[in-house]
């Protein structure tokens, strides 16, 4: 815990719901050590990884997002919050990604060109690993050539694309149009996601599905791979 932490709050003395609320504040303040400690305490108390993720971390980041939008928080503060969130996610990663022995399919995923948001995309990657997929994570700011080279190299079942900005989401169509042009569009299941997207957008750019969140992405991936293999 950082020395400056106000009142040197003893996180383990809080009830679990109260601790999750305190973690919203700690995430807001970018207090990485406190987020790590809170995450560990909630897990030790028997909270499942998904509950810790959704109730403590994702909810905290939702609040950060509102104040970022309203000009109360700025990029440096939000970066600190994002780093704290990532530290919590690292603890949850092995729990979320506990997969079976044989991969059920392969996924290539990346955040599109011009966009550096990666928290949601990394969560999708973790949940897909948890659902039994092998995931090749291309990172952020991925251009069409990088996507296509990865498809060629890894021959996945699924291409996943993430965008968090209204200015970068149209790039998904650039990638899909290029796949069509090269005659390889139907070789892959294309899934898209990110906060500003919706079903209509997914359809308009020619994706197989828009996925609202990481859990939906993992479910949709499993269902569409099984359908394609005639198992459903
Ligand atoms: Co940015 N940012 N940001 N930001 N940022 C948003 C997205 C914004 C909505 C904030 C706001 O105004 N309320 C706004 C976008 C407005 C718009 O376009 N409509 C915004 C802006 C404007 C910007 C900058 C332009 C700010 C500036 O510089 N003036 C800048 C752009 C940089 C760039 O990309 N070129 C910028 C920068 C940043 C930081 C670097 C500071 C940081 C990113 C750090 C990082 O990711 N490493 C940041 C953050 C953290 C946010 C908010 C606060 C949180 C995003 C997040 O991580 N959410 C965000 C506000 C918000 O979304 N509420 C905001 C938590 C995460 C779990 O949810 O990412 O939605 P999400 O992912 C979900 C689903 O969307 C879905 O599943 C995930 C898990 O359930 N999903 C997929 C996501 N990808 C998927 C892919 C799939 C399937 C599902 O593939 C199959």
Structure confidence by residue, pLDDT tens digits, 137-193: 999 999 999 999 999 999 999 999 999 999 999 999 999 999 999 999 999 999 999
Q: Where does the pLDDT of residue 232 fall: very low under 50, low under 70, confident under 90, or very high at 90 and above?
A: confident
Element (H, E) at 135: strand 133-137
Residue nearest (by alpha carbon) to ligand 1 atom 70: 195
The pLDDT of residue 136 is above 80:
yes
- Compute, in angstroms, the gap from residue 178 CA to the centroid of ligand 1: 25
CA atoms within a 13 Å half-sphere pointing along the CA-CB vector of 52: 25
Mean pLDDT of 199-220: 96
Specify the ligand 1 atom closest to the Cα of 116.
34
Q: Where does the pLDDT of residue 2 fall: very low under 50, low under 70, confident under 90, or very high at 90 and above?
A: very low
Give 110's strand partners.
161
Mean pLDDT of 24-33: 97
Mean pLDDT for the chain overall = 93
Choose between 23 and 98: higher pLDDT: 23
Say what percent of the chain tops pLDDT 70. Answer: 96
Residue 231 falls in which region: left (phi positive, over 0), alpha (psi -120 to 50) or beta = alpha
Residue nearest (by alpha carbon) to ligand 1 atom 21: 165
Report the interhelical angle of 119-130 vs 75-96 (nearest 10°).
0
How far are the Cα atoms of 54, 60, 80, 223 from residue 21, in angstroms, in the given order?
12, 8, 18, 35
What is residue 130's predicted lDDT score, i.e. its pLDDT? 79
Mean pLDDT of 36-49: 97
What is residue 3's predicted lDDT score, i.e. its pLDDT? 45
Its pTM stands at 0.92
Ligand 1 first shell, C-beta below 6 A: 58, 61-62, 64-65, 68-69, 75, 78-79, 82, 109, 114-121, 123-124, 160-162, 164-166, 191-196, 211, 213-214, 217
Structure confidence by residue, pLDDT tens digits, 58-85: 899 999 989 999 999 999 999 999 899 9
Q: What is the C-alpha to C-alpha distance for residues 132 and 192, in angstroms, rounded to an integer?
A: 19
Residue carrying the six token digits 């022995």: 101
């Amino acid at each position: 815990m950082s020395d400056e932490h106000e009142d040197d709050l003893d996180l383990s003395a809080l009830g679990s719901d109260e601790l999750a609320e305190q973690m919203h504040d700690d995430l807001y303040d970018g207090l990485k050590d406190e987020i790590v400690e809170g995450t560990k305490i909630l897990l030790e108390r028997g909270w499942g990884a998904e509950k810790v993720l959704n109730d403590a971390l994702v909810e905290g980041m939702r609040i950060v997002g509102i104040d970022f939008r309203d000009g109360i928080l700025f990029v440096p503060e939000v970066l600190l919050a994002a780093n704290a969130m990532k530290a919590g996610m690292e603890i949850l990663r092995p729990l979320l990604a506990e997969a079976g022995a044989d991969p059920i399919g392969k996924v290539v995923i990346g955040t599109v060109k011009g966009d550096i948001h990666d928290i949601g995309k990394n969560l999708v990657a973790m949940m897909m690993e948890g659902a039994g997929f092998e995931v090749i994570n291309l990172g952020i700011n991925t251009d069409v050539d990088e996507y296509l080279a990865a498809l060629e190299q890894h021959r996945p079942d699924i291409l996943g694309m993430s965008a968090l900005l209204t200015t970068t989401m149209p790039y998904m169509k650039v990638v899909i149009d290029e796949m069509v042009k090269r005659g390889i569009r139907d070789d892959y299941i294309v899934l898209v996601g990110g906060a500003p997207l919706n079903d209509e957008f997914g359809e308009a750019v020619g994706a197989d599905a828009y996925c609202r969140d990481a859990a939906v992405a993992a479910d949709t991936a499993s269902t569409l791979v099984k359908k394609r293999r005639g198992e459903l």
